[in-house]
Amino acid sequence: MRTLLVTGGTGGLGAGVVDRFLAQGDRVLVSDVRPASEAFLSRPAGQSLHTFVVNGTSGEDLAQFAAQIQSQFGGLDGLVNIVGGFHWGAFAETSADDLEKMLNLNVRTTFLTTQALLPLLLASDAGRVINIGARQALAGAAQVSAYALSKAAVVNFTQSLAQELRETSVTVNAVVPSVIDTPPNRASMPDADFSSWVTPADLAHVIAFLASPEARAVSGAVIPVYHKA
């Protein structure tokens, strides 16, 4: 049984990824800054689901968490970095605090979590890291300068670390979604065309492949997942 960690796994995308991993028989660890709800914990195959409260911006918290994973589960085979945030606003109205929040939520969490858990992944026969970019990271967009900048950093980090680890068994890849079809996104954009949005399950299919042993030859990839036929 593989052991996989999904950070931010209680959110809309995270829950979709967790369900996909559980369905294929993996042991799934979920970390988030808040305790998981009873509804989240009651999902099928829940005996293979383990949740933890972890501050992904704290190196100390993450070091302790890595030690706990090693002690309790004997190692780690895959990491999906989903913790993140979004900010919408004109550039002239985006404050330094807004920028810092995006860098903390999207870049710092990905960087520090991967750094803390990399020794465990290197000890696996097929360690996997999957990060979450964004469509705006590739081409930018109006009204999302801080968000796009932070996600561009995640994409570059993915490619850089993949090069650094190219002689190891660890692969590092990223998926790049646009708007994901989740209840919060529908509520915030009620007039949008929901039929054009990809679902968490759509992304989970791609993430599951990248986390699999079959993806051993794929590293440094940045995969767009925003086409809906």
pLDDT digits 0-9 by tens, 129-169: 999 999 988 988 899 999 999 999 999 999 999 999 999 99
| 49 vs 180, residue with greater confidence | 49
Q: Which homologous superfamily is 3-225 in? A: NAD(P)-binding Rossmann-like Domain (3.40.50.720)
What is the domain partition of the chain in residue ranges?
Answer: 3-225
What is the structure's pLDDT at 54? 97
| 62 vs 12, residue with greater confidence | 62
- Give the neighbor-by-neighbor strand order of the sheet with 128-132: 49-53, 27-32, 3-7, 78-81, 128-132, 171-177, 222-225
CB-CB contact of 17 with 203 (8 Å): yes
193 CB-near residues (< 8 Å, 6+ apart): none
For the segment 186-213, the average pLDDT, to the nearest whole number, is: 82
pLDDT, mean over the chain:
92
Statement: residue 198 has pLDDT above 90: no
Instruction: Give the position of tokens 């000890």.
Output: 123
| Predicted structure pTM score | 0.93
Statement: residue 117 has pLDDT above 90: yes
217 CB-near residues (< 8 Å, 6+ apart): none
> 162: which 2 tokens?
């993949």
116 CB-near residues (< 8 Å, 6+ apart): 59, 62, 63, 65, 66
What is the structure's pLDDT at 153? 98
| 226 vs 4, residue with greater confidence | 4
* Residue positions annotated with a catalytic role: 147
